[in-house]
Chains A and B, each alone.
Chain A
Amino acid sequence: MYQYTEQDKAFVQARVDEFADQVARYNEGMLDEDEFKQLRLRNGLYYQRHAYMLRVAIPYGVLSSKQLHQLAHIASTYDKDYGHFTTRQNIQYNWPDLQDVPKILQSLADVEMHAIQTSGNCIRNTTTDPLAGATADEIEDPRPWCELIRQWSTLHPEFNWLPRKFKIAVTGSRNDRAAVQVHDIGLRLIKNKDNETGFEVLVGGGLGRTPHIGSVIRDFLPSADLLTYLNAILRVYNQAGRRDNLYKARIKILVSAMGIDAFRTAVETEWASSKNEDDTFSEETINALKAQFPLAPKLNGATDQPPAEIFSHPLFNQWYKSNTREHLDTNRRIVFISLKSPFAPAGDITSEQMHTVADLAEEFSLSEIRSTHEQNLVLPHVPVSELFRLWKALNGKRLATANIGKLSDMIVCPGLDFCSLANAGTISIYDQINARFDNLDFQYELGDISIKISGCMNACGHHHVGDIGILGVEKSGEEWYQLTLGGHAGNKAALGKRLGKAIPKVAVADAIESILNTFIRERIENETFNATFERVGIAPFKETVYATAA
């Protein structure tokens, strides 16, 4: 993975010093509340319902064992002994003390990490496929490109005060696991007919209160032009994006107001003038980055047989089937670590568990860990022969919940318990669903299905793209929930359809049960929920839910 150069180190150190100085000036009254807020946001520091919250960047979801140990250390030293993985592959600490934040940033810098631009109206952490560099369906490893984007977007002088936040996602695979269609800019690595690598560029996707699927602005962008083209898009957005209304300020609103064709013309016109001067990069630069992401060494011997222990250990077998995936080296497997146990809120992990995962990654996965936008972790390169030992170790720390892609593998935003923007709780809904469907065999029968929960219209829980989306709304001071069905985030992204009027908190699990029963009734053979929904539409679900929950 990417190792900091001396320049990166000096840069991040300067950023730490800068923030320490800003905190000092704030304490002395030299920075007003509002300006300090803007400055701290650009270092990931929010003020939430109860306390400060610090969001740490995990660039494109890639972590080393050393870094994860440090994140654990930060959680135990400066926070309440746990961290929370977000849907943007980052980690949040919910209880840091302001005066400790410079020290936390220093601890991060010591392991080549930072919290730069994890909030604020600027270019956020770039996300990608958590299986990058480990799957056979990949056209090219997206991580060097993500690192290039990370560097380019870091403290970019022109684009640090955009109309609104700006998120970029990259996929290098034919199967999109980075949800590129619902990002401000989505990039798909592709090959053209001459076998040259480039990007299909999408723009104007996003969730939030007005969800949009991104439109293709360019079918094929030669990879050498990546940054100059991004510069042109950002420049048009920076100039023309709305600043009068917070809710209309994202690029998706601009793109839909102008129409994709007019927007494309504006970008191409801008690009024609600036493509040779702004943010160009050399081939050596990208080649040097590529060299930092070598393939996992090929293991020899063995065959592509599953581990023998699956025949003697049913629980291991369950986990193997549910939580591991094919690696491009058939002697390795990609292992998912579920952070969706019934014992803790989705995405939460204790310091002790972090240390465990870091140690296991060192032992079994070339010291590499990935975070996923589904709020789980991945050990990308585990030898098949070590899977059983790994499983036993994970199981001992409540890290072997065998539910990846299943009903209880829900995406859940922090909601009312932590977020000052929330209309309703999300963690209690997660608990309710977990309690109702605690039978894993039932979940396996259902097959792959996603429940995604957001505490308000900002949609941090991506409810629009869940098979079942749950959105918290407020009705005369009470928590109610609006359900959507049929959303999808993969190759053909689709937004969920509204099921009907909102339902009260106590009835959520009942409604989910009705939906699942309807699915089982309508399902043909082993159809996924998505396939059944596409075939039968929303009507049968509507009928059963409102017949019982009325």
Chain B
Amino acid sequence: MLLQLKNTSETDHRAVPDSAVESGSIPNSGHFIERENNWTFYPDDAALPEDHAFTIVSATRFLERAHNNETLPTGVCLRPADSTTALSDYQQQLKLICIEFPVYTDGRGYTHARLLRKRLGYSGELRAVGDIRADQMLFMLRSGIDSFDCINQPDIALLKQLTARFEHNYQPSYPLPDRAIHSM
């Protein structure tokens, strides 16, 4: 299951599959919803399916395919050492960009997220994947990430509490995606 920020971008072109369900079973779940993950990551040595609609590949493979004029998947996964700007020509056709956090102490993904949103103007789904800890999600949200595929998924009630803790922050150019959410 994924965690996703609710209502962040009705206007964007991300694919929220029909099967996405708001989890009614969790009271006070704030602005997070739990959702099925319809996307599949294909490692570099795995054959890709015919239909690329919900396919994620590594940035290296993605750029290789682009270079060879092959059909492009709509999902890509950035590792910490990858470059975000290399994706700038393709961000329009991407529906999902994953940012991998192999360990939660590696902070490169925060800069990836920021650059994707601000430099590239990417408005689709930006998903943190990997070793993600509840106490860090506030910073991820403020950097532009809006969904999470965590190795250990935190409790939604805890998450709501943690991400709503600071009413003020010292970096106004890094706001939470929707400040109004906290008044719910």
Cβ–Cβ contact A238 & B168, under 8 A:
no
Partner-binding segment picked from A147-155, A170-178, A287-295, A373-381: A147-155
Q: Which of A151, A238, A277 is within 8 Å of B173, CB to CB?
A: A277
| CB-CB contacts below 8 Å: A153-203 with B | 154-162
Partner-binding segment picked from A11-19, A259-267, A345-353: A11-19
Cβ–Cβ contact B168 & A7, under 8 A:
yes
Cβ–Cβ contact A10 & B173, under 8 A:
no
B19 at the interface (CB under 8 A from A): no
Task: Name which residue of chain A comes closest to B83, CB basis.
Answer: A239
Task: Name which residue of chain A comes closest to B164, CB basis.
Answer: A14
| CB-CB contacts below 8 Å: B141-165 with A | 142-143, 161-162, 165
Cβ–Cβ contact A11 & B171, under 8 A:
no
Cβ–Cβ contact A238 & B107, under 8 A:
yes
Cβ–Cβ contact A152 & B108, under 8 A:
no
| CB-CB contacts below 8 Å: B61-107 with A | 80, 104-107
Cβ–Cβ contact A162 & B107, under 8 A:
yes
Q: A11-B166, A161-B105 are in contact. Are A156 and B173 (CB under 8 A)?
A: no
Q: Which of A158, A235, A239, A274 is within 8 Å of B174, CB to CB?
A: A158
A448 at the interface (CB under 8 A from B): no
Cβ–Cβ contact B105 & A121, under 8 A:
yes
Contacts of A35 in B (CB 8 A): 104, 133, 135
Cβ–Cβ contact A160 & B165, under 8 A:
no
| CB-CB contacts below 8 Å: B162-184 with A | 162, 165-171, 173-174
Closest CB-CB distance, A5 to chain B, in whole Å? 9
A38 at the interface (CB under 8 A from B): yes
Closest CB-CB distance, A242 to chain B, in whole Å? 11
A160 to B174, CA, bound (A): 13
A277 to B174, CA, bound (A): 10
A158 to B136, CA, bound (A): 11
Cβ–Cβ contact B106 & A158, under 8 A:
no
A286 at the interface (CB under 8 A from B): no
Residue in B80, B135, B136 with the greatest tally of chain A CB atoms within 10 Å: B135
Contacts of A18 in B (CB 8 A): 162, 165
Contacts of B140 in A (CB 8 A): 157
Task: Name which residue of chain B comes closest to A280, CB basis.
Answer: B173
A278 at the interface (CB under 8 A from B): yes
Cβ–Cβ contact A157 & B143, under 8 A:
yes
Q: Which of A15, A160, A279 is within 8 Å of B107, CB to CB?
A: A160
| CB-CB contacts below 8 Å: A1-48 with B | 7, 10-11, 14-15, 17-18, 21-22, 35, 38-39
Q: A157-B142, A243-B106 are in contact. Are A14 and B166 (CB under 8 A)?
A: yes
B122 at the interface (CB under 8 A from A): no
Task: Name which residue of chain B comes closest to A151, CB basis.
Answer: B170
B111 at the interface (CB under 8 A from A): yes
Q: A155-B166, A277-B173, A279-B171 are in contact. Are A239 and B118 (CB under 8 A)?
A: no
Contacts of B167 in A (CB 8 A): 10, 14
A273 at the interface (CB under 8 A from B): yes
Closest CB-CB distance, B39 to chain A, in whole Å? 25
Residue in A121, A156, A160, A280 with the greatest tally of chain B CB atoms within 10 Å: A156
A273 to B84, CA, bound (A): 14
Q: Which of A14, A154, A239 is within 8 Å of B111, CB to CB?
A: A239
A284 to B149, CA, bound (A): 42
Cβ–Cβ contact A161 & B170, under 8 A:
no
Q: Which residues of A are in contact with B by a Cβ distance under 8 Å?
A: 7, 10-11, 14-15, 17-18, 21-22, 35, 38-39, 121, 151-152, 154-162, 235, 238-239, 243, 273-274, 277-280
Query: Can you name 15 A-B residue pairings with CB atoms under 8 Å?
Result: A10-B167, A10-B168, A11-B170, A21-B161, A35-B133, A155-B166, A156-B171, A157-B142, A158-B111, A161-B106, A161-B107, A238-B107, A239-B111, A243-B106, A274-B119
Top-9 shortest CB links A-B: A161-B107, A157-B139, A157-B142, A7-B168, A151-B170, A158-B110, A157-B174, A14-B166, A154-B170
